[in-house]
Amino acid sequence: MNFLIDHNLRGHAVLLLGSILSSSWLHWVPIRFITFDEMELPIDSDDRAVWQPAQSNQMILLTANRSMKGGNSLEQLMREEVTSTSLPVITLGDADRLLNDFQYRERCTTRLVEIVLDLDSYKGVSRFFIP
């Protein structure tokens, strides 16, 4: 499963990927983190400009701070465009804690893997907070 990593989570993604690798999860499930640079997305892209390419490329968006207000907000977009086949947006409940708390990071890692392993159960769920 491919994850589109929000522009402000690059360091977080490195730590999460390290946890995934050290726990040998990649033996069970393929996970790849893709950056805005790889998708040629500007870092100031609005939520719609991020979510739509993620969905069309079958990627789960991993974020911590997408907006809740406005016509192109993640909240509005989900009301308008989420279908039963849409992949969820995964939101880190506490991005700062992920950086500094090993146990919290491990719980986030486990939840990401669980979501990928049972992805069909999460399709159509607009947003899911982890851990």
CATH of the domain at 75: 3.40.50
For residue 31, the SS3 value is coil
The three-point CA angle 40-108-3 to 5° equals: 20
Enter the tokens of residue 58: 């079958």
**pLDDT at residue 102, rounded to an integer:** 96
**pLDDT at residue 73, rounded to an integer:** 81
**pLDDT at residue 26, rounded to an integer:** 86
- In this structure, what DSSP letter does residue 130 have? E
Segment-wise mean pLDDT, segments of 10 residues, the chain, 131 residues: 96 96 89 97 93 96 81 83 95 96 96 96 93 93
**pLDDT at residue 79, rounded to an integer:** 86
| Domain tally, the chain | 1
Residue 18's domain spans which residues?
Answer: 2-130
Cα distances (angstroms) measured from residue 127 to each of 14, 15, 77, 100, 112: 22, 22, 11, 24, 13
**Does the global pTM surpass 0.75?**
yes
**pLDDT at residue 67, rounded to an integer:** 64
Handedness of CA 43, 120, 15, 110 (dihedral sign): positive
Enter the tokens of residue 86: 């849409």
**pLDDT at residue 10, rounded to an integer:** 94
CB 2 within 8 A of CB 32: yes
